[in-house]
Amino acid sequence: MKNIVLFASGSGSNVENIVQYFHDKPNVTIASVLTNKRDAKVLDRCNKLNISSLCFNRIAFQETDCILDILKGMDPDLIVLAGFLWKVPEKIINSFPNKIINIHPALLPKYGGKGMYGNKVHMAVKNNNESESGITIHYVNEHYDEGAIIHQAKTKILPEDKVDDIATKVHALEYEHFPKIIEQLLAQ
């Protein structure tokens, strides 16, 4: 049995997609979804999907071992950041080497780093007249968006594409590739 813990800060559309992907795979369990926002829509999705969830604050995550101890108790085979916006503390990274992955809505190393998420990334892609964008799934290290790249997928960006169009194309790549890459990593 493989065990996944998901982290999210927002709506949780990637969380829902991952949960649905693994729903009929008896060898994979979603242990819990952890979020740093009490009003995150991902909590509503967790309730609807009957998935355990936990909300925590910055002190529990960064200044104490509270979240680290919870994670150790869950014994995850993989920790998946699915729209999680906080930097992961080194003590958690060091406790789960090569077991924490993130998805970024651009082709890293472009448009990565602190503050680069969601529509901020898509706006930068649009403003720089990029002809393509995409997703990067990577391991998490002590720096934002600098861990080793696991997988990238690309989409064409047309000159007439608006920021919402870019977001739609990138979300489609996330939904298609993220669960499959998680499954491949769990099989290693």
> Domain of 35: which CATH number?
3.40.50.170
34: containing domain: 2-187
Q: What is the pTM of this model?
A: 0.96
Among 104, 122, 143, 177, which one carries the catalytic annotation? 104
Axis crossing angle, helix 118-127 with helix 163-187, rounded to the nearest 10 = 120
Q: How many domains does the chain have?
A: 1
Axis crossing angle, helix 13-22 with helix 41-49, rounded to the nearest 10 = 20
* Catalytic residue flag (residue 122): no
Stretches where the chain sits below pLDDT 70 are none
pLDDT, tens only, 56-103: 999 999 999 999 999 999 999 999 999 999 999 999 999 999 999 999
Q: 137 pairs with which residues across the strands? A: 103, 151
